[in-house]
Amino acid sequence: MNIKLSNKNSTDVNADILVEFVTSDELLKHTEVAILNKAGFKAEQDSTCFLHEKGLLVCGVDSQKSDDIRSAMACAIKLLKASNYESAKLGIHSKRTVSALVDGILLGGYEYNVYKSKPKKSTFKKLFLTADGLDFEKIERVFNEAIIVANATNFTRDIVNTTPHDLHPQTLVALAQKLAEENKLGCKILQEEELKKENMHAMLAVGRASIYGSALIHLSYKPKNPKQIISLVGKGLTYDSGGLSLKPATSMVTMKMDKAGACGVLGMIKAASELKLDVEIHAFIGAVENMIGGDAYKPDDVLVARSGTTIEVRNTDAEGRLVLADVLDYAQNKVKADGIFDFATLTGACVVALGPFTTGIMGHSHKLKHEFSKAASNAGELTGSLPFNKHLKKFLKSEIADISNTSSKPYGGAITAGIFLDTFIKDENKEKWMHFDIAGSAYTETPWDCNVYGATGAGVRMMCEYLKSID
């Protein structure tokens, strides 16, 4: 679908359908109020009414704010794609809603049809956004940036949605290498022999039973005179069976999404490089597959992490934190960063705590928590802060090793996982580090807002907003 920005008035643009967003108060003054009333349209949020004879699609919104416009636009684009119309137009009334409109169109209209033998073809081809009467130069800049971020989000969705047969640790390596070549990024890959030399035994243990070798991916974007250096770390479990602590069959479905942290990090560095941000970015990914077999790591094993910390394994399904323990330590040794942010589908407990739409944020810096909460809100993502405390830390005590990989109590599971990762953050980096648990927000089987079935690309829009705010 082609989206075109125009500085013309919408009346001067030739298109099949005019799209309008209307609140309940604005409905009373609408020129077609009589017909809309007969149709039973009340302008409730995300409601729509197609007046075909008028060439008009009216969408209900609670307000003209970005969140409501984004959600309504996602509903509208689905209707347009299902219709036999070829084009539509809508007017931009504020610079603040440009990104919301683009997200609604590109994210709400996203489809993943790779595995469909006969994917449906849409007649709808063109959408015109008109910005008559506004500062077109500013609108155009915001529009172009929003396109880049939305495309990076859909890039992330594509990778997450790819099946584990097609996307395993080594094909993830190839995908990262391709991205590095296309976007002129630095690229370093550590395969298993090199991981052994780096003493990354926790990460290696998780992937030991897989037929695919584990790998560490390091991509770098280095502009001249960067304002800051940021390290992004992603959990790349291309599939998680739970290992010998095997998941129930129903829980294994959708486990292709356990690589969403890694995929999100790839989307973030892709967007940053295309936005040409004055921020140096390093993306570190632990690409691993957690399977079962005669060589699988076991509950009761004691692993020695790269940092030298010994870890008692009580549950092989708490594997993501083992991978991140080594990758975080490696990232801190290789890059002196101003910010270290890890993204992982880490715990079901985070979904219980915050629900399926919200990313959990953990760390020591109240300043960073506030900045990311603001960035997420501006980008249309939801976040909730989960607090560390010394009492929950006691639940990770091990009698035979330095730390256990799971809590001894079934409470505060998202927080204890974050506290586990905190063990591998060096003292000088404690205030620079944030952990993002995207277990609930990374994948959905029920469409909401601009998210369709499958991967959401959680974290990409929020991180891009944060990076753009760095001065």
CATH number of the domain encompassing residue 403: 3.40.630.10
Q: Considering the domain boundaries, does residue 376 fall inside one?
A: yes
CA 435-437-439 angle, 5° bins: 165
Token digits of residue 44:
């409730």
Which among 360, 422, 418 has a CA at the least distance from the CA of 385? 360
HSE-up of 83 (CA within 13 Å, CB side)?
21
Which 3 state secondary structure label does DSSP give 398?
A: coil
Cβ(339)–Cβ(395) below 8 Å: no
Residues 447 and 393 in one domain: yes
Given 95, 96, 247, 426, the catalytic residue:
247
**CA dist 51 to 39, 150, 242, Å?**
9, 30, 52
Do 218 and 350 fall within a single domain? Answer: yes
CA separation for the pair 309, 402 (Å, rounded): 6
Domain CATH for 87: 3.40.220.10
Which residues of the chain are under the pLDDT cut of 70? Answer: none
From 102, 131, 160, the end of a domain falls on 131
Asked whether residue 137 is domain-assigned, the answer is no
Instruction: Answer whether 346's CB lies under 8 Å from 419's CB.
Output: no
Nearest to 240 by CA among 159, 168, 176: 168
Residue 22 in 3-state DSSP? strand
369/421 same-domain check? yes
Cα separation, 52 vs 83, whole angstroms: 11
Q: Which residues are CB-contacts of 328 (< 8 A; sequence separation ≥ 6)?
A: 233, 340, 342, 421, 424, 425
Residue corresponding to tokens 């486990």:
255
Q: Is the dihedral of CA 58, 62, 64, 68 positive or negative?
A: negative
**Residue 58 DSSP SS3:** strand
69 Cβ contact list (under 8 Å, min separation 6): 21, 61, 97, 100, 101, 104
Are residues 379 and 454 part of one domain?
A: yes
Would you call 115 exposed, middle or buried from its count of C-beta atoms within 10 A (0-12, 13-18, 19+)?
A: exposed
* Residues 161 and 110 both lie in one domain: no
- Whether residue 451 is found in the same domain as residue 375: yes
How many domains, the chain?
2
448 DSSP 8-state letter: B
Note whether 122 and 164 are same-domain residues. Answer: no
303 φ/ψ angles, rounded to the nearest 5 degrees? -105, 150
Name 436's bridge partners: 343, 361
Residues 114, 233: one domain?
no
Domain that holds residue 40: 2-131
Helices (H), 241-381: 249-252, 260-275, 320-334, 348-354, 366-379
Burial track 367-381 (b if 16+ CB lie within 10 A, e otherwise): ebbebbbebbebbbb
What is residue 257's DSSP assignment? Answer: G
Same domain, 337 and 300: yes
Q: Is beta strand 48-51 parallel, antiparallel or unpaired with respect to 2-6? A: unpaired
Asked whether residue 136 is assigned to any structural domain, the reply reads no
Q: Are residues 109 and 201 in the same domain?
A: no
Longest CA–CA span in the chain (Å) reads 76
Of 166, 151, 174, 404, whose CA–CA distance to 285 is shortest? 174
Q: What's 62's DSSP letter? A: S
Q: How far apart are CA 383 and CA 373, in angstroms?
A: 6
At 249, is the secondary structure helix, strand, or coil? helix
pTM for this predicted structure: 0.97
Asked if 319 and 290 touch (Cβ cutoff 8 Å), the reply is yes
Instruction: State yes or no: is 247 an active-site residue.
Output: yes
pLDDT at residue 1 in the model: 83
| Separation of alpha carbons 194 and 217, rounded Å | 12
Which of residues 131, 163, 194 is at a domain's end?
Answer: 131
Active site residue 321: yes
**Among 97, 131, 165, which residue terminates a domain?**
131
Instruction: Compute the distance between CA of residue 218 and CA of residue 285 in angstroms, rounded to an integer.
Output: 7
243-283 pLDDT per residue, tens: 999 999 999 999 999 999 999 999 999 999 999 999 999 99
Q: Could you tell me where the DSSP H helices lie in 424-459? A: none
**Residue 138 placed within a domain:** no
pLDDT in tens, 396-418: 999 999 999 999 999 999 999 99
For residue 317, tell me if it sits in a domain: yes
Same domain, 339 and 445: yes
Query: What 3-state class would DSSP assign to 76?
Result: helix
Clarify whether residues 189 and 272 are in a common domain: yes
**Which is the catalytic residue, given 259, 321, 369, 461?**
321
Q: Directed axis angle between helix 136-161 and helix 260-275, to 10°?
A: 150
